Amino acid sequence: MSNLNEGPKKSSLELIYSGMIFLEQFVENVTSYSSRYNSISSILYAPENLTGKPSKYPNYGDDPNSYTLRSYGSWWNQSEAAQPAYMPQDVDPIPSEDFVTVRFKHGVFPESICIYETYNPGAVVRIWGHKMGNPWVLLWQGAPQLCLPSSRRFSPPIRQVKELINEIRIEFNQSMLSYYTSLDAVLLTGYQPKSLLQGELLQKGLFDCLDGCECDVNKCTPIHSGGDGLDLFASLPFEVMVHIFQYLDLKSLCRCAQVNKRWHSITFDPTLYREISLKRYWNRVDEIVMKHFITKCRNVKKLDISWCDIEKQITEPVFMEFLEKCCPNITHLSLGHCFSHSSSLGYLAKYGELTDLRLRNCKCNMNEYEALSNLSKLTALDLYCSNISDVYLIKILRANRDLKYLNLDLCELLERLDEVTEVISVFNPNLVMWSSWKTHSITSDGVKFLARCSSLRELDLGWCLLLNDPGNSLERIASNCKHLRRLILCGWRGVNDQLLLPIIRSCKEIRELDLLGMKNISVDICERILSSLPNLRLLDISFCDLIKPEQVVLWRQHYPNITIQQAL
């Protein structure tokens, strides 16, 4: 008979943890990120603001001492220059748009993770954890949320894992957000073993106390094609089976390869791998995976290997072998946040059929960019937050006369953008999209050179003329670029009503207009914008001091089809 005076029996997990040290830790440093709102020389809105205890919570609103992501809503995905899905059947049901990785001082068996969201919460969709040198484990995932406009401590229930964690990766999907999102801090709580032996015993599973391990695909029950074990696909021709398999994602193809010998052989057909997207599997892509693809792929046309850490997980020779054997005629290549200080970039010059090249957040050896001037068929080039210099960019522009989409956001080593835009006006007159957000070296003269590109439909010059006089540059844009649909001029302090009038009169196709931070524009010009631009869907007049909130409330009632942003 049990003792009636005994308290509730402890679980095996509680018994194990009772012999450990409970720790609460805030972020010690930020190790990587895919998006930032700050210039590299500024700490305002920077990822580094995630370190330490929360400084703003529970207050809500825009605050430069928080970490703010660059994009929100669906506006960026609607851009003509947005990267299309290379492998639509492999698009994640909960796609991630950005991430930030933070490190803590001590490795712990995690109990909880708390994210302090202080502006437009709801974008967190995944939380990963690992200790340096070990594989990443998924701790939580969920769909983006619609939240009330208030700060919150987001602490979803995380999986109990037999892993020491001192690094957390948070993934975001901002598609549901009405405006920019900001984070103040991240708290990790968990148990630290008192001894190395105690930690090793738990990690090796010698304490049977933790549940929720991921299913090992290699141990899954084989798929049967018919209820009686009869292969209903046996009579189908090989070509028909290949056609059916083209609708499967990579994980499903791997599972199909385990069904029987015939299915296994079908999964090796090179036509199944003409377009590959590995971004979704960033945490699993290593040399073994790449060598496996080398045995299958022969003519990859489109490859997205974004977020896969080439330098840490794949040696350069293996990556180059994959490109050489599998991608001889590749046309679309996305290498966002893949490598830095690598010679792989220069190796791309031999792939002369490339038309679409995405190098977001790639901090390669600066001299490597020169090799890209050997390419001549580029129509889209994304260099967001890269360290390219003016000299090599100009060489690339001169060599690629059919270029239509160019992203130079946060390319802060570009010091002669006026010269770059002059080259654009001569060698790339059919440019459709130019974006140089927070790339500060352009002046009104450079904007006038862009005005010679009469095919421009998207123009992002946000924070480019913060202190410079815009002169008559907007008048030139209005005169020659009448098909503009997106115009971002945030931070142009010197603009007034009179300078905006030519745009309103001539550019009737504008859908998105960002005037954030224009201190001198009035209610009258905003009224004219709202009433005169029939296709307008977004107007940002945040921090425009002459526009009162009560006036914005009235406009939102009168123009319900237009999203009017006003952060104060």
pLDDT at 201 over 70: no
- State residue 315's pLDDT score: 81
* Three-class SS of 353-422: CCCEEECCCCECCHHHHHHHHHCCCCCEEECCCCCCCHHHHHHHHHHCCCCCEEECCCCCCCCCHHHHHH
- State residue 2's pLDDT score: 42
3-state secondary structure of 76: coil
Using one digit for the tens of pLDDT, what is the confidence trace for 442-496? 999 999 999 999 999 999 999 998 777 899 999 999 999 999 999 999 999 999 9
Residue 23 has what DSSP assignment? E
- Mean pLDDT score of the chain: 89
pLDDT at 250 over 80: yes
pLDDT band at 353 (very low <50, low <70, confident <90, very high): very high
3-state secondary structure of 553: helix
Query: Closest by alpha carbon to 462, among 397, 514, 519?
Result: 514
3-state secondary structure of 539: strand
pLDDT band at 162 (very low <50, low <70, confident <90, very high): confident
According to DSSP, the β-strands at 137-141 and 124-130 are antiparallel
| 433 neighbors 409 (Cβ within 8 angstroms) | no
pLDDT at 274 over 50: yes
Contacts of residue 553, Cβ cutoff 8 Å, sequence gap at least 6 = none
**Measured between alpha carbons, how far is residue 268 from residues 86, 322, 331, 372, 535 in Å?**
19, 16, 22, 32, 49
Higher pLDDT, 316 or 378: 378
pLDDT band at 266 (very low <50, low <70, confident <90, very high): very high
**Measured between alpha carbons, how far is residue 220 from residues 215, 217, 248, 258, 281 in Å?**
8, 5, 18, 9, 19
% of residues, the chain, pLDDT over 90:
77
According to DSSP, the β-strands at 182-192 and 67-68 are antiparallel
Cα separation of the two ends of the chain: 68
| 379 neighbors 405 (Cβ within 8 angstroms) | yes
Higher pLDDT, 269 or 16: 269
Query: Closest by alpha carbon to 60, among 126, 189, 147, 160?
Result: 147
Q: Sketch out the chain's domains with CATH numbers.
A: 14-204 (2.60.120.260), 298-565 (3.80.10.10)
pLDDT band at 364 (very low <50, low <70, confident <90, very high): confident
Give CA–CA dist 205/11, Å, rounded. Answer: 16
Give CA–CA dist 337/305, Å, rounded. Answer: 9
Give CA–CA dist 183/36, Å, rounded. Answer: 12
Q: What is the mean pLDDT of residues 76-105?
A: 94
| 276 neighbors 300 (Cβ within 8 angstroms) | yes
Query: Closest by alpha carbon to 361, among 83, 12, 36, 20?
Result: 36
pLDDT at 280 over 80: yes
pLDDT band at 182 (very low <50, low <70, confident <90, very high): very high
Query: Closest by alpha carbon to 335, among 372, 310, 367, 371?
Result: 310
Omega prior to 58 cis, within 30 of 0: yes
Using one digit for the tens of pLDDT, what is the confidence trace for 421-441? 999 999 999 999 999 999 989
pLDDT at 208 over 50: no
| 198 neighbors 120 (Cβ within 8 angstroms) | no
pLDDT band at 20 (very low <50, low <70, confident <90, very high): confident
Phi, psi of 79 (to 5 degrees): -65, 145
